[in-house]
A and B are shown apart, each in its own frame.
Chain A
Amino acid sequence: MDVIVILLLICGLVFFTGGAVGILRFPDFYTRLHPAGKMDTLGSFLMVLAVALYNIHDFSWAALLTSLKILLIVLFIFILNPTATHAIVDAGFRAGMRPWTKEDRGK
Chain B
Amino acid sequence: MKEHPAEKRSSQPVNAFGDRPGNPSEHHIPRPIFSRIMTFIALLCLWVILSGRFDPFHLSLGVISCALVSILSGDLLFPESRTGGLFRHTMQVINYAPWLLYQVILANLHVLYLVFHPRMMDLIDPRIIRFDSKLKKEISLVTFANSITLTPGTITMYVSVEGAFQVHAIDKASGEPLPGEMERRIARAFEDE
Contacts and interface: CB of A to CB of B under 8 A. Distances in A.
B141 interface: no
Contacts of A26: 115, 120, 124
Contacts of A3: none
Interface of B: 46, 49-50, 52, 104-105, 107-108, 111-112, 114-116, 120-121, 124-128, 145-147, 149-150, 153, 155-158, 168, 170
A30 B112 contact: no
A35 B110 CA distance: 10
A31 B124 contact: yes
B168 A30 contact: yes
A62 interface: yes
Contacts of A41: 104, 150
Looking at chain A's contact residues, the main secondary structure is helix
A18 B126 contact: no
B128 A42 contact: no
A65 B45 CA distance: 12
Given A27-B121, A99-B126, 13 more contacts: A18-B108, A18-B112, A26-B120, A28-B126, A30-B126, A34-B155, A42-B104, A68-B49, A69-B49, A69-B50, A82-B146, A85-B149, A90-B157
B52 A93 contact: no
B105 A100 contact: no
Contacts, number: 101
B122 to A, nearest CB: 9
A18 B115 contact: yes
Given A85-B149, A89-B155, A14 B112 contact: yes
Nearest to B117: A25
Given A31-B124, A69-B50, A101-B126, A90 B158 contact: yes
Nearest to B152: A38
Contacts of B111: 18, 22, 34-35, 38-39
